[in-house]
Amino acid sequence: LIPLCHTLPLSEIKIDIVTSQGGAEVICTARTVAQTGVEMEALTGVSVALLTIYDMCKAVDKEMQISKIRLLKKTKRTVAAVYDRRNQNKRRS
């Protein structure tokens, strides 16, 4: 999907989705045994989850927006990316 982004062996990838009246929060956690980070994999996971939600809900809500996808946390070999529509700018980690 991303030019010049090499493939990595993932030991875990997890997507959590919490919905509410005002929107949804999507968190993708990616882990690897490789020596490099998995930021792009986590951000791609969040993006694909959001595009799926958008596709399923577009007939119901013509005003939907996808924005503020960001890296939430990075540790050695673990990355979490988040999109939080419900609590924009309140979630820090």
61 is catalytic: no
Exposed (0-12), middle (13-18) or buried (19+): which is 8, by Cβ within 10 Å? middle
How far is 74 from 13, CA to CA, in rounded Å? 14
Q: Which among 16, 55, 61, 84 is annotated as catalytic? A: 55
Q: What 8-state DSSP symbol labels residue 4? A: T
Q: Which positions are catalytic?
A: 55
